[in-house]
Amino acid sequence: MDAYLLRMPSPIGRLELLSDGSAVTSLTIERDGTLPRDHLPERPNDVLETARDQLDEYFAGERRTFDVPLAPDGTPFRRAVWDRLREVGWGEHITYGELGMAVGKATAGRAVGGAIGSNPIPLFIGCHRVLGADGRVTGYSGGQGIPTKLWLLEHEGITLAA
């Protein structure tokens, strides 16, 4: 159960972080001015405060890796995709096909896309770093969608195909 809640401002909109007490379990980027739990009072804990500090450093360009504990909830396949995404570092990118091959499902493009789209902890699990085979941005489910992804890619200096 996610008993802890913290909200924070960011350059891509307000962020809502949840924790089970020992790890971050969810991060939501504000969409159209709202967050899913805007109606609930904040209840921060040490994990969420560390996550906030690391995100502040990331947005300031001072942090390129995260070491806050994460506990994403998902199927074994989705967790495998998210684990591989955690290995893609600042300024790097991976394609959907490369990601599928890395998790042993080279022909499961739709399933890989579904796993990416259902990532419960974006930014910490860098799903914004996934591009189409031709190097183009194909979508993003966080915040305002593609504009949010483009901001994150530019922030990390990831060059896109023309």
Q: Is residue 65 part of a domain?
A: no
Residues 13/144, Cβ–Cβ less than 8 Å: yes
When divided into structural domains, the chain yields a total of 2
91-145 pLDDT tens trace: 999 999 899 999 887 677 788 999 999 999 999 999 999 998 888 898 898 999 9
Q: Is residue 91 part of a domain?
A: yes
| Phi-psi sector, 32: left (phi>0), alpha (psi -120 to 50), beta | left
Q: Tell whether 43 and 97 lie within a shared domain.
A: no
Structure tokens at 151: 């901001």
Which CATH number do you get for residue 108? 1.10.10.10
Distance of CA 23 to the CA centre of its chain: 15
pLDDT at residue 1, as a whole number: 64
Q: By three-state DSSP, how is residue 131 classified?
A: strand
Task: Print the domain residue range for 124.
Answer: 76-155
Which CATH number do you get for residue 25? 3.30.160
28-84 pLDDT tens trace: 999 999 999 999 999 999 999 999 999 999 999 999 999 999 999 999 999 999 999
Q: Tell whether 54 and 90 lie within a shared domain.
A: no
**pTM of the predicted model over 0.75:** yes
Q: Tell whether 102 and 148 lie within a shared domain.
A: yes
Length of the chain counted residue by residue: 162
pLDDT at residue 93, as a whole number: 94
Q: Tell whether 83 and 136 lie within a shared domain.
A: yes
Domain final residue, candidates 33, 59, 85: 59
pLDDT at residue 162, as a whole number: 59
pLDDT at residue 160, as a whole number: 80
Q: By three-state DSSP, how is residue 68 classified?
A: coil
Residue 30's identity, in one-letter code, is E
Q: Is 127 in the active site?
A: yes
Distance of CA 54 to the CA centre of its chain: 14
User: What is the C-alpha to C-alpha distance for residues 80 and 74, in angstroms, rounded to an integer?
Assistant: 9
Structure tokens at 37: 């739990």
User: 19 has which bridge partners?
Assistant: 4, 24
Residues 37/72, Cβ–Cβ less than 8 Å: no
Q: Is residue 68 part of a domain?
A: no
Q: Is residue 110 part of a domain?
A: yes
Choice among 127, 130, 152, 153 that is catalytic:
127
